Structure 1
Amino acid sequence: MDFGLVLQTDPPASQVVGLMRRAERNGFRYGWTFDSAVLWQEPFVVYSQILEHTTKLHVGPMVTNPGTRTWEVTASTFATLNDMFGNRTVCGIGRGDSAMRVAGRKPNTLARLGEAIDVIRDLAEGREAEVDGNPIRIPWIKNGKLPVWMAAYGPKALALAGQK
C-alpha cells in the first residue's frame, strides 16, 4: 500500500520541503500540494526543491486545472521536472473549482478537462497534440512519462475519470 500527504504551500516554502522530506523518511510515496495561485505559493517552484531534497518521493498538484495554466506550459513543466529528477511527478488535475472561483471564473467543463488531460499527457510524453487547433510537439522530450490522475465527484465526472 502507498501513502501520500497533501500540504498547502503556505510560506515559508522551506517548511513544506522539510515536511515532505520527513514524509519520505517515514515511508510516504506521494507528496501532494494544492494548486491555487491566488491562495498559496507557486507549487511547481516548491516541487523542484522537494525533488532536489528527496530521492523517492513523487510529487504533484492535488489538483491543477486546465484553466489557470496553459496546457503546453503544464506539460513542459512536468517534463522538465521529470527530466531533472527522474520521472517523479504525477499530474493531479480537475475542473478547478477553488482556483477558478477564487479568481472570479467558472470551473472548466468536463469536456475541456477531458481534452486537457489527453493533450497534457501527450505533450509531456513527447507526442504531438493539438492545442487551440494547432498541432504542437515539445521536441526536447524523448522518453517522457506522466501519470495523469483526475479528481472527480458526481456520475459524469466519475465516468470521465474512468475513461482517462
Structure 2
Amino acid sequence: MESPLRIGVRVPPCDRADRVVETVRRAEELGFDDVWFPDSQLLWRDVFTTLTAAALGTDRIGLGTAVTNLATRHPAVVASAARSVAELAPGRFTLGLGVGNSSVGPVGLRQTTSAGMRAGLRMLRALLDGEEWEFGDAGVRSRLRDPGPGVPLHLAASGPKNLQLAGEIADGVILLSGVSPRTLRSATARVREGAEAAGRSADHIPLTVSAFCAVTDDIEAEARLIKPICASIAQNGGAPFLALAGIDVDVPKTVEGVYPDLVHAEDWPAAVEICSAWISDEAALRFAEEFCLFGTAEQITQRLGALRSAGVTGVFLQHVGSYDPPAELIEAIGSSVLPALSAPTPAKAGH
C-alpha cells in the first residue's frame, strides 16, 4: 500500500522568527505534514535562525529548506547549520538545495553549475557523515565535529541536467515544474534516467512538487495575479514547457521597473501590470489551470490525488507573495482539503 501524499506549505521567513513560528504552529495544528522555508539573505530573515525557532516551537511537522544554496553559503557552513537544526528536530529536517536564484542574483554571483552542485553535495554529505575532506589546493584536511549523519539532501531541479543529477546522487528531488501532467512526466523521466545510470531505484526517491495554490471560486481573478510567475518562467528558459500547455509567450530577458525580480517583486500589483504586456489574461488562466492548484477545495483535492497516482510523494503549496505569511492558504487548505484527503475512501459495491 502506497503512503499518503505529504502536504507541505512554503513559509517565507518574512518576519521575526518567533512570529513566523506562529504560522508554522498553525500549520502543524491543522495537519500539514511539512513546512518549507526559502533562503535568500537580502529578501528574508536568515533561514537557519528561523528553522531553529521552528524546531523548538513545534513537535511533529517536518521542516525543510526550499531551498538553500552552495554559492552564498560554503558547503562546510551549510553542513554545520543543517546538523544544528537536525539535532533540534530529530527525523524532521530535510536540507533542500538549489542553484541559488534570488540569493545569488542580488549580490552579483552566478548560479551554481551542475558540476558545482555535484562537487558541493559530495562535500556536504561527507562532512555530515563525519568524514575528513581535503579543502583547496593546499591539501588542508578537516572534518565536522559532532556530525549529523542521516540528514536527507534533496535537490531542486527543473532543467534536464540537474534533474538527472538529482536522480543520480540526491536523497530526494524537489520538482520545480508545477503540477502539469506533461511537464511532470518529462521531469520524472529525467530523474529516472539519472537514477538508473547510477544503479539506483527511482521508485525509492522522494519526489516533491512545488505548486502555487489558491482555494477560490474565481480562478480568472486569481490567475491574473500570477502573471509575473508565468513571465519569469518564460524569461528563464521555460518557454518550451509553457508551449506544451499551449501558452506561447515571449518575455524580454530584462524587465525594467520590478525589484528585486519578477517572482519576488516588492510591488506585486505593479509587476502584474508590467507583465500584462506579454502575458494576457487568457495565458495566465491557462497557466493557472495547467501548472498550478487553483480552484475549489474539491477540485484541488482531486488534483492532489492525481499527483500521488503519478508517483509524486509530496507537494509544497505556495501563495502569491513573498513578504507576508501564507495564513489564508493554510486556513483554507487545512480546513477543507486536508480533511478530505484523510477521509477514508468509500468501499465499492460488492466489497
The TM-score, its normalising length taken from structure 2, stands at 0.44
Q: Does 1:121 align with 2:118?
A: no
**5+ residue gaps in structure 2?**
170-351
Instruction: Work out the CA distance in 2 between the residues paired with 1:131 and 1:3.
Output: 39
The TM-score, its normalising length taken from structure 1, stands at 0.91
Given that 1:93 and 1:148 are in contact with CA atoms closer than 8 Å, whether structure 2 keeps it comes out as: yes
| Aligned partner letter, 1:57 | I
Tell me the residue number matched to 2:259: none
Q: Does 1:28 align with 2:26?
A: no
Tell me the residue number matched to 1:111: 115
Instruction: Work out the CA distance in 2 between the residues paired with 1:4 and 1:158.
Output: 21
Q: Choose the corresponding residue for 1:161, options 156, 159, 166.
A: 166
Tell me the residue number matched to 1:71: 75
Q: After the TM superposition, which segments of 4 or more aligned residues of structure 1 sit over 6 Å from their partners?
A: none
CA 1:12–1:139 in structure 2 vs 1: closer, same or farther (change >3 Å)? closer
Matches within 5 A, 1:67-106: 67-106=71-110
| Aligned partner letter, 2:153 | V
Instruction: Work out the CA distance in 1 between the residues paired with 2:85 and 2:39.
Output: 16
Instruction: Work out the CA distance in 1 between the residues paired with 2:135 and 2:43.
Output: 28
Given that 2:64 and 2:96 are in contact with CA atoms closer than 8 Å, whether structure 1 keeps it comes out as: yes
SS of the residue 1:163 aligns to: helix
Tell me the residue number matched to 2:156: 151
| Aligned partner letter, 1:122 | A
Q: Choose the corresponding residue for 1:55, options 47, 53, 59.
A: 59
Residue-pair matches, total: 163
Q: Does 1:136 align with 2:142?
A: yes
| Aligned partner letter, 1:136 | S
Write out per-residue CA displacement over residues 105-132 of structure 1, whole angstroms, 9 at most, x where no aligned residue: 1111111111111211221232333433
Displacement after TM superposition at 1:162 (Å): 0.9
Given that 2:13 and 2:37 are in contact with CA atoms closer than 8 Å, whether structure 1 keeps it comes out as: yes
CA 1:123–1:87 in structure 2 vs 1: closer, same or farther (change >3 Å)? farther
Tell me the residue number matched to 2:11: 7
Instruction: Work out the CA distance in 2 between the residues paired with 1:35 and 1:65.
Output: 8
Given that 2:15 and 2:45 are in contact with CA atoms closer than 8 Å, whether structure 1 keeps it comes out as: yes
| Aligned partner letter, 2:32 | F
Instruction: Work out the CA distance in 2 between the residues paired with 1:146 and 1:63.
Output: 15
Given that 1:81 and 1:87 are in contact with CA atoms closer than 8 Å, whether structure 2 keeps it comes out as: no
Instruction: Work out the CA distance in 1 between the residues paired with 2:125 and 2:106.
Output: 26
Instruction: Work out the CA distance in 2 between the residues paired with 1:14 and 1:139.
Output: 29
Specify the structure having the higher radius of gyration (Cα): 2
Instruction: Work out the CA distance in 1 between the residues paired with 2:71 and 2:94.
Output: 18
SS of the residue 1:60 aligns to: strand
Given that 1:65 and 1:113 are in contact with CA atoms closer than 8 Å, whether structure 2 keeps it comes out as: no
Instruction: Work out the CA distance in 1 between the residues paired with 2:35 and 2:98.
Output: 17
**5+ residue gaps in structure 1?**
none
Displacement after TM superposition at 1:84 (Å): 3.0
Displacement after TM superposition at 1:77 (Å): 1.0
| Aligned partner letter, 2:79 | A
Instruction: Work out the CA distance in 2 between the residues paired with 1:73 and 1:83.
Output: 16
Displacement after TM superposition at 1:163 (Å): 0.7
SS of the residue 1:90 aligns to: strand
Instruction: Work out the CA distance in 1 between the residues paired with 2:64 and 2:75.
Output: 15
Instruction: Work out the CA distance in 2 between the residues paired with 1:79 and 1:119.
Output: 14
